[in-house]
Amino acid sequence: MIQRKLALLVGITMFTLLLMLRWEHIIHLVSLMRNERPSAEPEPQTDLPSAESTLPLWQRAPMETISPIPGSRHLMVSAFKDHRLGGAILVISIICRQELQPLYCVLCANGDANDSGNTDAKANGALGQCTTSQAKVDIHSDHFGFPFHTSDVFCTTTTSQQASYVSITSDRNTIDNLTFLTIQNQEVKESFRYKYTICISNLFGGYNNALQFAQTMEVYKLIGVQRVVIYNTSCGSDVEKVLTYYMREGMLEVVPWPLHKFLTPSTGWKYDLHHGDIHYYGQLTTLNECIYRYMYQSKYLLLNDIDEIIMPYKHGKLEKIMDTLQQQHPNAGVFRIENHIFPKTQFEDSGRFRLPQWRRVPGVNILEHIYREPDRKSVFNPTKLLIDPRRVEQTSAHTTLKQFGPVVTVPFDVCRIIHVRAPLQGHLSKDQLLVDKKLWEFEKRLIPSIDHALNQSGLL
């Protein structure tokens, strides 16, 4: 009893402290510790929309990453076969926790080969035989009090192995006018197009930190990242130009994330403080969607924010670090990396990287911020994740919720996050901060490549 009271007291004290620091991520983590577990896991489908006009009426256009579930306020995002769960069909969804009526899966075969089996579907395309069965809904545990949350809607019937399309509905009696999602990840693959892919959850508001974004993308390249995925609700005009450049250039996939058309997304992490229908613009849904989207496309995924760089300190490349870590922990699929803050309010004195050509580009120049905040005794250092997506079933922002195999905490000197942002310990003066010039090691290749990217984006 005393222990519980003490724990509560410590919890409240810490919480207040953190609140003052306004660091949502830490608070988020503390919440986790206090058992308000967070989670997320939707998935949109976005193959680029070249053939939209040829889609049959029942199939969703690729730009429409989110669809309503008929007869409810729930939303469905994307569908995948999960080979780790006996080939169950999983529809990443956003479920209203207060309105849990039964839901049904309509699984349909591909009718292309033989249209005569198409007795049920009122479709103007090739939808094959369909079967309806009750869905099983698994709401992720980390909802932070928000009414809507990331959920796995499972469809398991004997016919699920043959299904190519799925739709979720609350009305089991009609399949008229349903929107069908293509079931992705039909085949297990052993080799992957990318080795390191970064999943960046939502871009929203007028986010226009173009300089930091372009610099960060070029650092990613130098440490060995081949692909970046960003879920886009909205952004500022200069960031838009940089996004367009990287899409054209091939490194970036932008997944449309028009969540505001369906819900009132929260800009914060906790319902009591920030209100809205869903945590952080559905951040957790996008992270989970990204895991399934890239499960057979990328060997590893890095789940971090747009202003964070998971930096291999011990070697210059992710490759070497991961080879070593994976050798040491052959069955691990989750690697937790510590976040470290580089306040954007403290500038390096010499002005060496205050380059004239970048002066008119909006955003933070990460090369000017070499001062790192020290760890605090009483505060958790939140982590971000580097994962093998085939070993993760559900994730939250700082920890996974369901995974196969052990979770490894990566030592600070091996790999840590460079996070240039507003300070958390704003009272500290320069000499109380630590000097960390890791980014400068990339100078020779980095400066010309940043210039090139900005020029190609039309920002120089």
The least CB distance from residue 242 to ligand NAG, in Å, is 9
145/256 with CB nearer ligand NAG? 256
The least CB distance from residue 250 to ligand NAG, in Å, is 14
The least CB distance from residue 172 to ligand NAG, in Å, is 13
The least CB distance from residue 70 to ligand NAG, in Å, is 8
Strand, helix or coil for residue 144: coil
309's CB contacts (< 8 A; 6+ apart) are 216, 219, 220, 223, 417, 418, 419
The least CB distance from residue 456 to ligand NAG, in Å, is 7
Strand, helix or coil for residue 349: coil
The CB-side HSE value for 183 (13 A sphere, CA atoms) comes to 26
> Distance between CA atoms of 36 and 398, rounded to whole angstroms?
13
221/452 with CB nearer ligand NAG? 452
86/205 with CB nearer ligand NAG? 205
Binding site for ligand NAG (CB under 6 A): 114, 116-117, 174, 176-177, 232, 234-235, 240, 243-244, 254, 451-452, 455, 460
Of 63, 177, 72, residue with least CA distance to 135? 72
The least CB distance from residue 40 to ligand NAG, in Å, is 20
Of 359, 354, 357, residue with least CA distance to 369? 354
Residue 274 contacts residue 168 (beta carbons within 8 Å): no
Return the ∠ at Cα 128 (arms to 126 and 133), rounded to 5°: 135
233/339 with CB nearer ligand NAG? 233
> Distance between CA atoms of 373 and 246, rounded to whole angstroms?
31
The least CB distance from residue 76 to ligand NAG, in Å, is 18
107/243 with CB nearer ligand NAG? 243
141/244 with CB nearer ligand NAG? 244
129/304 with CB nearer ligand NAG? 129
Strand, helix or coil for residue 163: coil
Pairing of strands 298-303, 194-203: parallel
